[in-house]
Structure 1
Amino acid sequence: MVRYGIVGCGHIAKKHVSAIQADPGAVLVAVCDTNEERLKEFTIDGVIGYTDLADMLKADIDVVSICTPSGLHPALTIQVAEAKKHVIVEKPMALTLEDADRMIDACEENGVKMAVVHPNRFRPAIVELRKQIENEKFGTIGHANATVRWNRNQAYYDQAPWRGTKAMDGGVLMNQAIHNMDLLLWMMGDVDEVYTYDATRIRQIEAEDTSISVIRFQNGALGVLEAAVTIYPKNLEESLSIFGEKGSAVVGGPTANWIKTWDFEGLTEEEVAQVKEQITQDPWGMPGHECIIRDMTLAITEDRTPIVSGTEGRAALGLVVACQMSAESGKPIKMSTLKRNILTK
């Protein structure tokens, strides 16, 4: 059994607990939080609670899930890696590329694996879309579009003083749309250049609540990313659309779980209906966090790299950083200017 610990006993930690409990090859043995009251909810069924991570790392643990506010991820990841424990870190893995590189280096230097929580890759409709990319069913792709039209009201940000701050949390790109940016990169490949406008229009936060980006990918395709947490009165849409010379596909809904458009050269109406029905019967599939946990368990037992590695997590973070730089400077940003461990403007 792969033995797991969790640091940070907030809302997202509950998903990690459920995912570990659902994995037949894993067991949760310890949790850590500086707040003893929060620990009580998690220290059941033999799970030991710690208020000091250094103490928890002395226990017989193989993997630590980091579920703290984003700004704490780098230091905690490095501490865990130096204790020779594998790491699962919630998104975003860090708020700067310099921190992301330090995290990756620490894991490599200490011979431990890192996985970043981008669970949307495992949604059935997204998996099916990826198959069409791999099988070149689109032909030459013209453009892609990712949309996040969600509501995170002021009460959401007022829950804790770190929410919506640039130092500890980030805005709609870092917190919500980074998942969609990960999917864009997974489907479309590396980005050449991005131009972004952003604004803080409605929410009383330090970071942006609305962002619009135009993207040019290295393969020549274009893209648009629209992200907002200001939609009234509730989440309206999350979608990923890809358009090519031989195919058009849109995965959407309030969350990107359903196939809205599925047209490919040579595909009959009956075949299209069959794919849509298959997804409709199980639009969520295995919970994404469970997929991440199971993949880490297998990565350890099979001695391989996790599917969503630190390098993969860094790529999505890099696109967020480029968008932020563009919005701040009012200029397009070449991804080639984002060097490893060095950020040049």
Structure 2
Amino acid sequence: MGDENVKFVIIGSGNIANTYGDALQKVQNAELVGVVSSSMKKISKYSHLPSFPSISEVTVDFDAIIICTPNGLHHHSAIEAAALKKHVLCEKPIDITVEAIDQMIDACKANEVKLGVAYQRRYSSDNPAIKKLINENKLGRIFSVDLAVKNYRDDAYYESAPYRGTYDIDGGGPFIQQACHYIDLYYWYFGKPIKLVSALSTFVHDIEVEDHGAVICLHKSGMIGTITASTATKPGFPAKLELYSDKGYVILENDVITHWEMDGVENPTSATASDNKHTGSSNALVNDTTNHETILNDFVESIQTGKDPLITGESAKNATEMILEIYNGQF
């Protein structure tokens, strides 16, 4: 495509659609040209844009879609867009079943279009530096990792849409919804556990899925990991990852290194990381679009150059597979 603008249509009109709309305004060679909403609802900040009831009924010229529909509906939009030779960028998680994800991947490959997924936490603040140090074995023998994603959502959140808190559409509770970003990060850092055991329950909400749970993960290296995910922990807390090795320890909160004691290894925290004040712990709104801009800039480049997106469908599938094992691994 050269340097021509990549024209996007957003699928869905919820809160996250506004986030992508805002991020697109800051991305070179990208343009938002329309919205698809089955209810014909407008995106509040972009009500001037044309709305269409389905992808097949879009009458403006476009190159790619951004999927912002509920989790279990992602594959429908991806497959439909791929058949029209349109590129696909999907909000997390890519979908809620392995079968649906494979259908998305196969459809995009068959139609030679890009499939990218917004697991942007991999590139947030200090996370890439930690990944590099792990890959280079600079952190020594890591024997313990504790990940805590302790959010709070009130009853109004779950009552705001009929699909919230359901297995059929949401796919589950906080593990696949709020914590999937960090489970993706966990997998990216440490790989797939060889065994896991989970305990999940519903404590403070009238929903069919879990609102709190914990997992113990055993890895081939011997590392023992724990993951806690919740929407029941008032008032909501920053996502926290603690890593312990024979060289010392690292603690990150919301992707920023807050404690560092590693023998012979300099703290790699970025100069701007301390400015990251986004918590996301007590509501579903995302006001800081920095990480989404990273994903969008890369996705535009992948369309224009032919390279793979930062997070491919195959890579994003890992998090869903691990979460499904968590749901199936309850004792």
Does TM-score exceed 0.5, indicating one fold? yes
SS at match of 1:31: strand
Greater CA deviation, 99-108 or 314-323? 99-108
Q: Letter of the aligned partner of 1:10 in structure 2?
A: G
Q: 1:286 to 1:244 in 2, by over 3 A?
A: farther
Which whole-Å deviations, capped at 9, do the CAs of 1:202-231 have from their partners, x for residues lacking one?
111111101110112233322100111111
Read off the aligned partner of 1:235 and give its amino acid letter.
G
What is the distance in 1 between the residues matched to 2:126 and 2:222? 25
Query: Displacement of 1:325 after TM fit?
Result: 0.7
CA 1:278–1:247 in 2, change beyond 3 Å: closer, same or farther? farther
* Greater helix content: 1
CA contact (8 A) 1:32 1:39 kept: no
How many residues matched?
317
Counterpart in the other structure of 1:343: none
Deviations 1:243-277 (A, max 9, x none): 2222421101xxx133222122224xxx54x8476
Paired residue for 1:106? 107
Q: Give the whole-Å Cα distance in 1 for the aligned partners of 2:43 and 2:272.
A: 41
User: SS at the partner of 2:105?
Assistant: helix
Question: What CA distance in whole angstroms lies between the structure 1 residues aligned with 2:146 and 2:33?
Answer: 42
Q: TM-score, normalised by structure 2?
A: 0.90
> What CA deviation, in whole Å up to 9, does each residue of 1:117-175 have, x standing for no partner?
11211211212222321332211211211101110111110111110011011211110
Match of 1:21 among 21, 25, 39: 25
- Give distance in 2, aligned partners of 1:239 and 1:282: 14
1:240 deviates by 1.4
Task: Please name the residue that 2:165 is paired with.
Answer: 164
Pairwise CA RMSD of aligned residues? 2.0
Contact 1:151 1:229 in 2 (8 A): yes
Whether the 8 Å contact between 1:66 and 1:88 is mirrored in structure 2 is yes
The amino acid that maps onto 1:38 is K
Q: Distance in 1 between matches of 2:269 and 2:295?
A: 25
1:285-317: CA deviation from partner (whole Å, max 9, x where unpaired) = 971111111110011122111111111111000
Identity percentage over the alignment?
29
Paired residue secondary structure (2:222): coil
Structure 2: unaligned runs, 5 residues or longer: 279-287
* Distance in 1 between residues matched to 2:44 and 2:276, nearest whole Å: 35
TM-score of the pair, normalised by structure 1: 0.86
Distance 2:55 2:83 in 1: 12
Match of 2:281 in 1: none
- Are the structure 2 counterparts of residues 26 and 158 from structure 1 closer, same or farther at C-alpha, using a change threshold of 3 Å? same
Q: Which runs of 5+ in 1 are unaligned?
A: 331-345
Instruction: Show the counterpart of 1:337.
Output: none
Question: 1:124 touches 1:283 (CA, 8 Å); kept in 2?
Answer: no
